[in-house]
């Protein structure tokens, strides 16, 4: 049994972690912590867990609770994990951070986009960017995993094959993203009320969203180049799911056949499904599952390729991928506890 | 391994059966059949199953396909199962019928409310009404299980304790029910289009819904009386879930304490959760799970009790309960393959 | 021109008042006030009014702003209007209160259900309960109108004909109500976030909702009896609209014909539509309009009548009825500014 | 009074035409026609019109009904209007076609994208493309107006200022569009059922949507160049509304100041609102109104401009703009009957 602790367990990401971990065959949830609800029953915060998780939330003075756990998940706001991680912690437990603290290798980029001082930059290089399909080997040996952002996971996995194969002009890359509202978190804000989100759509963070440098860095590694792109997220009236639609010019002379072949890179991946020709990713086809559905369409009129990806932001975009990382770190089959068929309805 | 066949696999109930059975540890889906999509890939009908279920739908000439299966699920329109079941079939396989064909013991009541002639009334008495929590012992020995309707499951389980204990005046019973739109099925009808359902509510089948006699019959058994009640379903703009709110006069002198004690009947049931005082059932707390959450509130002003229940119509109201029945019939732990925490988001 | 002021203009009710009044041919919006957003542009609070309403919100020290207005609307939380109204105010302006402060004639009932001390009980008797179709003559002469609650408007108008005609047993009356989420207001509460409301339903205020005594009082007047009933509201994942489904025993010997005749009481009413037999009220058929659609169904099996009503909670249930009252008070055609066809989509 | 006839009145576009025209102060609806519902009460098809429109639908043999009308709206599938229009018709009435038949000047382009033979190409040149803000003067004199498509209206109005001013590189133009489900029409198709659309998003018509050549042609006129672009529409779980997000490289040396100045072209337009800096278009801010909200954001990192527009697809994208065109053709103030504040809720 892997004993786990979950910091920030009462946000939406934390809630989804609890959901998957509570039925994971190799896991025991040792404790859940919460700043806001400490000392309250978890099943009073989320009544769906009534009879299922009979624990009180502990406070966030985490070091007190490390002795009986093997791994700690941080589903916390930016900056929290960076403050809590130190050599002592990493000697005791493995850490999987669902926040952005260790995702970006260049600390100045992090500090300028996130507007906070990084509290433990000395661990950034050691941290492994936990996009399992790409960095699986490094994850195996990691003490500290930076679980990728939701938009970056879906964007990178959709674009990676063509970036890696050098088939697209990276200067022309545009990512138009759409996300369900759980991505906005559980904070009590007027803008996230039912009546403010329902029957509407809007872009937000236009030309300024924090996931931009994360995507740029990873696609930069893939394409061995410095990448600057436009990334525009939109808020959609649904609970879960992300769809990304990306556009780029194919390099001169690149054929549809080459594009097709590049996506074969995923042929042994369980969680990335390259759709059959003529199909497009739909959020409902991956909902509540750890799958990412990707597809592409070459437009001969404009010699652009449209790359599409759909994913559940709370699963492969957060809790599911975190568990996939845990499975890899502890030598389990990476699909353990994640073998759910999508809830199409 | 239990080898299963699913008739009517491409409706919403069938789709949910496939979802749960495809990850059930003791089940092999031998075939799925469909009238509309026969000879087409199941994963072309529901693209969420791409890479997960690599089978073509067979036609509905079921007798051809019985040799290699242990149990057949019918998720078909009224009348289909009754036509297909015969002694030969029941000798070969166990049958779990998700339609209404064998639910009502009085064939005249069935024929008058459903407007069709029953094709095999000789099996009605043998069929076990598969409300697991109430008829578990009979289900164990059954060849033919009539899986309860969605509204009846939620209504009966919410009211049963007080009906059984004789605490309410059955003549005063009123059930006001609300259901998500998947209950309306997958037929291509204008009235079920997104824009016709969204941002609206309406009652339907007022004083004439077919689930009325099913509820009346079962609550009649519980209360040892003939029950006539009002049942009004409403269509709600959401995919899944049922909420029922039921009203009855408490018999004279009945105390809140007695009401509370009556619900202890569920104290050993895993899938029925009697909520703590002050809590009310919410659909999201049971979504995608096999739980039924029930609660009651005594109103001293009117000496009525309000009984409430929430359930996922596709799980405990259809596929989940069918699998719970299968587990019982085959001697498995009845929770096998159904241990999912609700997807509160 | 009628010069109006709106107190509490930035809540959802206030927003809807502004919407209708800004296009009312006989109205000039002189000022809008807001506790939370005072001194901010109204069109920064609701960006839909950009270019349409070029005013800053004033504070809520209303007496300063009475000289240039003819009528003041209060779309404020309970207790605010009662504190502000006094003889001086009523000498200067007419007051239409959308809160509950003057709806209930019995001050003890008000204070016990609302849990606050009434600040100006001396005006309760003078105040006219502004259910236009019933109290039109009194509204004409009123200085102070208590605009009915949303649930009471829909409930009373649906039940009134049978209560008035003495055809139902008032002791058996049960009202099961369903409301869109705008009824919960614009406060930043976790429970009203998109992801907490979407894809769910729940009852709330079971046997304790504050609209209960308001409905009981008015139906008491109609039936010349003391009425105690059960009223259960439910939260529905949609922005606007209320549906009520009410149940009562018909008195012995009452025929369907008599029921039908009782509803003729509305034959000259523009805003109350008694549907043709076989039709049921649907929220979408009245959305964004001032109509209330009502229907009934007699169940011969149980000798009950099911009474149904649909209405837009923000229009006939709040702003629209308030304007209808204003029109009556100022001698205009009561339909002025309210002649919108429902937005079925 | 302008007497109008509406062909195809029972689709969603037709329904919205009826809604606005039924309260237009200068209009009398002489007849409504329907292929599917001919000879049925309009208020049986859309029950929201009960008591409001007391007419039966006539058949679609329109020539019989021209004598008493001044203008005919066609809200019909592609090809219907082209078959019905001839010199005789145009001598009797003005025609406003909401379908695509006369939008594209190059008949071969029309025939190849729409896959049908044009039945009356001789009227294509005469037809005026009714994008009021751009072609107002031509509309005044028109007998035949081609009412623009929903996506084209929103896309063109958002991009037009920069295309016209020559500030963007037209070869880099990409339009990512999102639409509510009413855009898919009222046909009874499985893919448009509530449960298939809700809680999901998908792209459709990728690199092949028919609105592409319409946008290209109009932006070609604006920029005096041949335009080839990528246009990707997405289906969103909401009833109404379109949001477009467009991307283009600014030409070298173009400053943000010049971009800002280009949008001044709309300074006298009532229905196009250029948002204040820092604001983004949201569908709810224009819902149920004839407004188009547009905004832009210059990204100095990539030297791209992101152009955004929000609009109600059924109003400015269909019925509202058609009425705006009618108003212009008949010499009325173009805002007549369209002065509704957006229904933000």
Q: Does B268 touch chain A (CB under 8 A)?
A: no
Indicate whether C35 and C116 sit together in one domain: yes
DSSP D250: B
Under the banding of pLDDT at 50, 70 and 90, the label for residue C303 is very high
Indicate whether C163 and C292 sit together in one domain: yes
Indicate whether C302 and C180 sit together in one domain: yes
Under the banding of pLDDT at 50, 70 and 90, the label for residue A260 is very high
Q: What is the pLDDT of residue A266?
A: 98
Q: Does B240 touch chain C (CB under 8 A)?
A: yes
Q: Is residue B66 part of a domain?
A: yes
Beta bridge partners of B146: B97, B129
Residue B13 burial by CB count (10 A; 0-12/13-18/19+): exposed, middle or buried? buried
Q: What is the pLDDT of residues D30-82, one digit of tens each?
A: 999 999 999 999 999 999 999 999 999 999 999 999 999 999 999 999 999 99
Domain with C122 in it: what CATH number? 3.40.50.720
Indicate whether A207 and A301 sit together in one domain: yes
Q: Does C195 touch chain D (CB under 8 A)?
A: no
Indicate whether C203 and C91 sit together in one domain: no
Residues of the domain holding B184:
151-313
Give the integer Cα–Cα distance in Å for A263 and A162. Answer: 8
Give the integer Cα–Cα distance in Å for B258 and B267. Answer: 15
Under the banding of pLDDT at 50, 70 and 90, the label for residue A326 is very high
Of A198, A234, A284, the CB nearest to D200: A284
DSSP B289: S
Residues with Cβ < 8 Å from A93, sequence gap 6 or more?
A5, A66, A69, A70, A71, A72
Q: What is the pLDDT of residue B59?
A: 95
Give the integer Cα–Cα distance in Å for B210 and A134. Answer: 54
Q: Is residue A28 part of a domain?
A: yes
When the pLDDT of each residue in chain B is averaged and rounded to a whole number, the result is 98
Indicate whether B181 and B79 sit together in one domain: no
Q: What is the pLDDT of residue C45?
A: 98
C233 near C205, Cβ under 8 Å? yes
As a whole number, mean pLDDT of residues B211-215 equals: 98
Q: What is the pLDDT of residue B264?
A: 98
Q: What is the pLDDT of residue B98?
A: 98
Q: What is the pLDDT of residues A98-131, one digit of tens each?
A: 999 999 999 999 999 999 999 999 999 999 999 9
Indicate whether C260 and C176 sit together in one domain: yes
Interface probe with D: pick from A170, A216, A219, A245, most Cβ of D within 10 Å: A245
The string of DSSP codes covering D128-178 is EE--HHHHHHHHHH-SEEEPPPHHHHHHHHHHHHHHHTT-B-GGG-EEEEE
As a whole number, mean pLDDT of residues B15-23 equals: 97
Q: Does C52 touch chain D (CB under 8 A)?
A: yes
Q: In sequence order, what E strands does chain A have?
A: 2-7, 27-32, 71-74, 94-97, 128-129, 144-146, 174-179, 202-203, 230-235, 242-249, 272-274, 292-299, 304-311
End-to-end CA distance of chain B: 33
Q: What is the pLDDT of residue D144?
A: 98
Radius of gyration over alpha carbons of chain B, in Å?
Answer: 20
Q: What is the pLDDT of residue D205?
A: 98
Q: What is the pLDDT of residue D87?
A: 97
As a whole number, mean pLDDT of residues D320-343 equals: 97
Give the integer Cα–Cα distance in Å for B249 and B168. Answer: 6
Domain with D203 in it: what CATH number? 3.30.360.10
Indicate whether A244 and A164 sit together in one domain: yes
Under the banding of pLDDT at 50, 70 and 90, the label for residue B210 is very high
Give the integer Cα–Cα distance in Å for B32 and C165. Answer: 58
Give the integer Cα–Cα distance in Å for C51 and C47. Answer: 9
CA distances from A145 to A90, A101, A292, A329 (A): 11, 10, 20, 9
Q: What is the pLDDT of residue A138?
A: 98
User: Predicted ipTM?
Assistant: 0.97
Q: How many domains does chain A have?
A: 2
Q: What is the pLDDT of residue D5?
A: 98
Interface probe with D: pick from B193, B201, B284, most Cβ of D within 10 Å: B193
When the pLDDT of each residue in chain A is averaged and rounded to a whole number, the result is 97
Q: Is residue B287 part of a domain?
A: yes
From C15, C132, C150, C288, active-site residue: C150
Q: Is residue C134 part of a domain?
A: no
pTM of the model: 0.98
Indicate whether C197 and C120 sit together in one domain: no
As a whole number, mean pLDDT of residues A73-86 equals: 97
Beta bridge partners of C235: C179, C202
Q: Which residues of B are catalytic?
A: 150
On the CB side of C136, CA atoms within 13 Å amount to 11
Q: What is the pLDDT of residue C79?
A: 97
Q: What is the pLDDT of residues B320-332, one digit of tens each?
A: 999 999 999 999 9
Helices within chain B (DSSP H only): 12-21, 42-45, 80-84, 87-92, 107-114, 132-141, 150-164, 194-197, 211-223, 256-262, 320-329
Q: What is the pLDDT of residues B254-271, one digit of tens each?
A: 999 999 999 999 999 999
Q: Is residue C341 part of a domain?
A: no
Give the integer Cα–Cα distance in Å for D231 and A75. Answer: 37
Q: What is the pLDDT of residues C116-155, one digit of tens each?
A: 999 999 999 999 999 999 999 999 999 999 999 999 999 9
Distance of CA D37 to the CA centre of its chain: 25
Q: What is the pLDDT of residues A1-36, one digit of tens each?
A: 999 999 999 999 999 999 999 999 999 999 999 999
Q: What is the pLDDT of residues B282-341, one digit of tens each?
A: 999 999 999 999 999 999 999 999 999 999 999 999 999 999 999 999 999 999 999 989
- D285–C18 CB contact, under 8 Å: no
As a whole number, mean pLDDT of residues D245-265 equals: 98
Give the integer Cα–Cα distance in Å for B261 and B254. Answer: 12
Among D139, D153, D147, CA closest to D332: D139
Q: Is residue D54 part of a domain?
A: yes
- How close D230 gets to chain A, by Cα (Å)? 7
DSSP B168: B
**Chain A residue with minimal CA distance to D206?**
A297
Under the banding of pLDDT at 50, 70 and 90, the label for residue C218 is very high
Q: What is the pLDDT of residue D259?
A: 98
| Tally of helices (H runs) and strands (E runs) in chain D | 11, 13
Indicate whether A173 and A309 sit together in one domain: yes
Q: Is residue C335 part of a domain?
A: no
Q: What is the pLDDT of residue C129?
A: 98
**Chain B residue with minimal CA distance to A281?**
B47
The two three-digit tokens of residue C168, written as one number = 């139902």
As a whole number, mean pLDDT of residues D275-291 equals: 98
Under the banding of pLDDT at 50, 70 and 90, the label for residue C305 is very high
Indicate whether A14 and A107 sit together in one domain: yes
Q: Does D197 touch chain B (CB under 8 A)?
A: yes
Indicate whether D184 and D251 sit together in one domain: yes
As a whole number, mean pLDDT of residues A175-200 equals: 98
Q: What is the pLDDT of residue D281?
A: 98
Output phi, psi for A211, to 5 deg. Answer: -80, -10
| Percent of chain C topping pLDDT 70 | 100
- B190–D188 CB contact, under 8 Å: yes
- D198–B194 CB contact, under 8 Å: yes
Q: Is residue C270 part of a domain?
A: yes
Q: What is the pLDDT of residues D147-200, one digit of tens each?
A: 999 999 999 999 999 999 999 999 999 999 999 999 999 999 999 999 999 999
The two beta strands, A242-249 and A304-311, are: antiparallel
As a whole number, mean pLDDT of residues C159-187 equals: 98
| Percent of chain A topping pLDDT 70 | 100
């Amino acid at each position: 049994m892997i004993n786990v602790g979950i910091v920030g367990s009462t946000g939406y990401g934390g809630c989804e972690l609890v959901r998957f971990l509570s039925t994971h065959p190799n896991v025991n949830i040792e404790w859940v912590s919460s700043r806001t609800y400490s000392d309250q029953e978890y099943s009073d915060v989320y009544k769906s867990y009534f009879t299922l998780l009979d624990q009180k939330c502990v406070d966030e003075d985490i070091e007190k609770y490390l002795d009986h756990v093997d791994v700690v998940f941080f589903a916390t706001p930016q900056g929290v994990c960076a403050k809590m991680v130190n050599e002592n912690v990493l000697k005791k437990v493995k850490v999987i951070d669902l926040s952005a603290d260790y995702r970006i290798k260049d600390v100045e980029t992090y500090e300028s986009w996130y507007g906070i001082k990084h509290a433990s930059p000395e661990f950034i290089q050691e941290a492994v960017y936990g996009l399992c399909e790409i960095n699986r080997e490094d994850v195996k040996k990691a003490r500290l995993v930076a679980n990728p952002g939701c938009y970056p996971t879906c964007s990178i996995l959709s674009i990676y094959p063509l970036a890696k194969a050098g088939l697209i002009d990276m200067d022309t890359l545009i990512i138009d993203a759409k996300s369900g509202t759980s991505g906005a978190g559980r904070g009590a804000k007027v803008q996230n009320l039912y009546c403010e989100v329902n029957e509407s759509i809007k872009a937000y963070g236009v030309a300024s969203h924090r996931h931009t440098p994360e995507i740029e860095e990873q696609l930069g590694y893939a394409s061995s180049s410095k990448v600057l792109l436009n990334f525009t997220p939109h808020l959609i009236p649904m609970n879960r799911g992300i769809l990304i639609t990306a556009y780029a010019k194919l390099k001169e002379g690149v054929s549809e056949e080459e594009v097709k072949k590049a996506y074969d890179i995923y042929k042994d991946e369980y969680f990335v499904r390259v759709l059959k020709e003529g199909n497009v990713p739909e959020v409902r086809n991956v909902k509540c599952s750890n799958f990412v559905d990707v597809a592409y369409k070459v437009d001969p009129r404009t010699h652009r390729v449209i790359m599409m990806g759909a994913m559940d932001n709370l699963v492969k975009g957060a809790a599911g991928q975190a568990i996939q990382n845990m499975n890899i770190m502890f030598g389990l089959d990476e699909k353990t506890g994640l073998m759910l068929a999508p809830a199409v309805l």
